[in-house]
Amino acid sequence: DGGITQSPKYLFRKEGQNVTLSCEQNLNHDAMYWYRQDPGQGLRLIYYSQIVNDFQKGDIAEGYSVSREKKESFPLTVTSAQKNPTAFYLCASSTSGLHGETQYFGPGTRLLVL
Amino acid sequence: GENVEQHPSTLSVQEGDSAVIKCTYSDSASNYFPWYKQELGKRPQLIIDIRSNVGEKKDQRIAVTLNKTAKHFSLHITETQPEDSAVYFCAASRVDSSYKLIFGSGTRLLVRP
């Protein structure tokens, strides 16, 4: 899991502002994921991508957008449409997105609203 | 819809005692069950996983048991140590949607020295 990096560690968003969270991996993994973690709760899937130039919505995609132009990179944009963005955001990757693969997590980005 | 319930939400044990965390899943087609450990402010890390073709798996002081009939699985930690203190998450997924891990709400384990 040391091969997944996220930046920044902390991010502040103003009202009406879009912000982008970075996720990079050098593990040569095909599949990448974005999760949101709220205090005292489990992880919820926002978006996932099993291959370059393709991605799918997870359970809570509204107010978020992603792109997958490169295998190593899967940035997440939190748009102004996301009314409650304060959370801990975790990126993960796995070999191919097939069944039963281990998902390795990045260190996370904590997003706060000013 | 798919759901994973996890209990207890907090667990405090004396160092050296055992700890047990239980999860129940709703989707009978689930057949992959990982457990993650997350220390404060850190990333979740896989500690053990089990697939539906086995009933138990052990790795040193940790073990996971699976009861498919009852749709529940449990994490057992023996001889607990202070460094075991963390939040533990169970998860479940089914073979036809492997990307989709459904997580439990987490158990905060405190091991008292």
- Give B1's pLDDT tier (boundaries 50, 70, 90): low
- With contacts defined as CB-CB under 8 Å, which chain B residues touch A33? 99
Residue type, A15: E
Q: What is the pLDDT of residue A69?
A: 97
Instruction: Of A39-48, A61-70, A84-93, B60-69, give the lowest mean pLDDT range.
Output: A39-48
Helix (H, G, I), strand (E, B) or coil at B84: helix
Average pLDDT, chain B: 92
Cβ–Cβ pairs < 8 A, chains A and B: 66
Instruction: Of A4-18, A39-53, B92-106, give the lowest mean pLDDT range.
Output: B92-106
Would the pLDDT of B50 be above 80?
yes
Q: Pick from B63, B89, B71, B93: which is nearest to B7 by CA?
A: B89
Q: What is the mean pLDDT of residues B91-104?
A: 79
Q: Pick from B104, B90, B12, B80: which is nearest to B47 by CA?
A: B90
Q: Which two tokens stand for residue A114?
A: 């000013």
Q: What is the pLDDT of residue B52?
A: 81
Tens-digit pLDDT profile for residues A6-47: 999 999 988 889 999 999 999 999 999 999 999 878 899 999
- With contacts defined as CB-CB under 8 Å, which chain A residues touch B6? 42
- Give B48's pLDDT tier (boundaries 50, 70, 90): very high
Q: Which residues 45-104 of B have a C-beta within 8 angstroms of A?
A: 45-46, 49, 51, 89, 91, 93, 95-96, 98-101, 103-104
- With contacts defined as CB-CB under 8 Å, which chain A residues touch B34? 102-103
Helix (H, G, I), strand (E, B) or coil at A77: strand
Per the CB < 8 Å rule, is A108 touching B43? yes
| Interior angle at CA B84, CA A111 and CA A36, nearest 5 | 20
Residue B82 DSSP code: G
Would the pLDDT of B33 be above 80?
yes
- With contacts defined as CB-CB under 8 Å, which chain B residues touch A101? 98
Would the pLDDT of B49 be above 90?
yes
Would the pLDDT of B99 be above 70?
no
Q: Are the CB atoms for A46 and A27 separated by under 8 Å?
A: no
Would the pLDDT of B54 be above 90?
no
- With contacts defined as CB-CB under 8 Å, which chain B residues touch A87? none
Would the pLDDT of A99 be above 70?
no
Mutation target among B43, B48, B59 for the A interface, most CBs of A within 10 A? B43
Mutation target among A47, A105, A109 for the B interface, most CBs of B within 10 A? A105
Q: Does A107 touch chain B (CB under 8 A)?
A: yes
